[in-house]
Amino acid sequence: MKSLLMRSPIAIALFWIGTYLLITVLPLFILLIYPPPGGGGFWVEFSVALGFIGLAMMALQFVITARINRIEASYGVDILLQFHRFTSLTAFLMVLIHPIMLFIVQPETQQLLNFFEAPWRARMAILGTLAFIVMVVTTIWRKPLRIPYEPWRMSHTILSVLAVGLGLGHALGVANYLSLFWKKMLWTAMALIALWLIIYVRLIKPWMMSKKPYLVEAVTQQRGNVWTLALRPWGHDGFCFHPGQFSWLTLGITPFSMREHPFSMSSNGDHSGRIEFGIKALGDFTRTIKDIPPGTKAYLDGPYGVFTIDRYEDTAGFVLIAGGIGITPMLSMLATAAERKDDRPYLLIYASKTWDSITFREELEALEEKLDLKIVHVLREPPEAWKGEQGYVDKALLARYMPKYKGTRQYFICAAPKMMEQVEQALHNLNVPVTQVHMEHFNLA
């Protein structure tokens, strides 16, 4: 059965972009059809248009981040998040320019900044803009401000609801532009859709997940401070996935927790009865994995992602480039390909610190026996007698191993951000077509 992931992806992607553009400019069309009474001149109208588009773009962020499978499967989480960041910042600028322009063109409107004397519609605008500013500042500078991920995520949700809610309240309060009943209906509908998406993500989806729990079957130590967490579905069949995809994992008694973390499945995508993750102990949550007792309840929201060999059934072969824990989606792809008796060539270029810290080293060696697989280990701190590759994965190293006809392969990169950037650039310099390079970033925020 072909999933949505593989059905005419370009047409589906274009459909979503078209829908996005249509919704963002809809308020402007309405203004064109029903121009505001009186009219305040070009700059006033322009400023109002900016405010409307900014608000529509902000409301649409709830759709982009709602993990809607159909949208996610067209682009992948990486592109969606980049789009979320870019469009949020654009909306932010529009929302800021909107009042500044008004204050310049109609200086008397500056009185609306007097919070205590201003009407409610202006107060809502001030509060909404403040919420937006705090949200943008805490997101861009989260790490320098030392805000831990979970409190940030919680505050990001609350601030976004406040910003959009107050923005809509402001728009509805400005009678000039929204006096017509059906214009009010349009904005109210947008607000309700955004609200529904929050309810869906925070309540309905977790409730659906609670009906399909998993149990921790085993936690096994791997090389490189990594732990394999094996889950077994409890009272249901689990799910198959495209190797390379990931899920959001929640451990504990309830799926309603805000503590959910994304992890790529490291096991065979065709085996729904046991799902494994290779988790590197790096932070608050991942350091606790080793102590999770078997029998602990777990919940999975997934599978997600487009980082998978399954999208390229017609390709001649694959080049997988991994750094450290970036090996997990690659292991899943290789294990699945081996069991499917895939006879295409696979090249794995795998960067690790030392020989002893190579995560899944033995599992990969075993796969060399079952697949047309060549593994090139690249060590940053090689042992004395090491004759293999060392240092970094750069253009010269890639050129030594890459197939002669570079355009006949699909290239998958998953590693630390810096390595991913360098490898992407090196592949570009080696004339690998950009459409054949696929990346999975592990650092979402």
Q: Per CB under 6 A, does 278 bind ligand FAD?
A: yes
| Nearer of residues 301 and 342 to ligand FAD, judged by Cβ | 301
Span interacting with ligand FAD, options 101-109, 112-120, 361-369, 435-443, rule CB under 6 A: 435-443
How many residues touch ligand FAD under the rule CB under 6 A: the total is: 24
Q: Per CB under 6 A, does 298 bind ligand FAD?
A: no
Tell me the C-alpha distance between 74 and 276, whole Å: 25
Contact pick of 117, 270, 284, 365 for ligand FAD (by CB under 6 A)? 284
292 Cβ neighbours under 8 A, 6+ residues apart: 216, 219, 229, 251
Tell me the C-alpha distance between 114 and 64, whole Å: 35
In this structure, the dihedral spanned by the alpha carbons of residues 334, 337, 339 and 342, taken in order and rounded to 10 degrees, is -140
Q: Per CB under 6 A, does 9 bind ligand FAD?
A: no
| Nearer of residues 280 and 377 to ligand FAD, judged by Cβ | 280
Query: Using CB atoms, what's the residue nearest to ligand FAD?
Result: 283
Q: Which residue has the tokens 């008694």?
A: 253
Tell me the C-alpha distance between 374 and 354, whole Å: 19
284 alpha carbon, distance to own chain's centre: 21
Q: How far is the CB of 282 from ligand FAD (least distance, A)?
A: 5
Q: Per CB under 6 A, does 250 bind ligand FAD?
A: no
Residues in the chain, how many? 445
- Edge-first strand listing for the sheet containing 226-233: 261-264, 246-251, 297-304, 214-222, 226-233, 275-280
192 Cβ neighbours under 8 A, 6+ residues apart: none
Q: How far is the CB of 288 from ligand FAD (least distance, A)?
A: 8
Listed residue (177, 171, 207) closest to 189, CA to CA: 171
Instruction: State how far the alpha carbon of 79 is from the alpha carbons of 22, 110, 325, 416, in Å.
Output: 20, 40, 21, 17
Q: Per CB under 6 A, does 438 bind ligand FAD?
A: no
Contact pick of 210, 272, 286, 390 for ligand FAD (by CB under 6 A)? 286
Q: How far is the CB of 361 from ligand FAD (least distance, A)?
A: 16
Span interacting with ligand FAD, options 52-60, 181-189, 255-263, 416-424, rule CB under 6 A: 255-263
The answer to whether 273 touches 229, Cβ cutoff 8 Å, is no
Tell me the C-alpha distance between 359 and 221, whole Å: 10
Q: Per CB under 6 A, does 264 bind ligand FAD?
A: yes
Span interacting with ligand FAD, options 49-57, 96-104, 272-280, 310-318, rule CB under 6 A: 272-280
Q: How far is the CB of 200 from ligand FAD (least distance, A)?
A: 19
Q: How far is the CB of 257 from ligand FAD (least distance, A)?
A: 10
Q: How far is the CB of 235 from ligand FAD (least distance, A)?
A: 26
Q: How far is the CB of 35 from ligand FAD (least distance, A)?
A: 46
Q: Per CB under 6 A, does 227 bind ligand FAD?
A: no
| 41 conformational bin, left if phi > 0, alpha if psi -120 to 50, beta if neither | left
Contact pick of 36, 40, 262, 345 for ligand FAD (by CB under 6 A)? 262
Structure token pair of residue 429: 């310099």
Q: Per CB under 6 A, does 256 bind ligand FAD?
A: no
Q: Per CB under 6 A, does 280 bind ligand FAD?
A: yes
The answer to whether 279 touches 222, Cβ cutoff 8 Å, is no
| Nearer of residues 173 and 262 to ligand FAD, judged by Cβ | 262
Q: Per CB under 6 A, does 345 bind ligand FAD?
A: no
Contact pick of 46, 83, 200, 285 for ligand FAD (by CB under 6 A)? 285
Q: How far is the CB of 215 from ligand FAD (least distance, A)?
A: 20
Q: Per CB under 6 A, does 154 bind ligand FAD?
A: no
152 Cβ neighbours under 8 A, 6+ residues apart: 138, 139, 142, 445
First-residue to last-residue Cα distance in the chain: 34
Could you list the residues that contact ligand FAD (CB under 6 A)? 77, 149, 246, 260-264, 277-280, 282-286, 325, 328, 440, 442-445
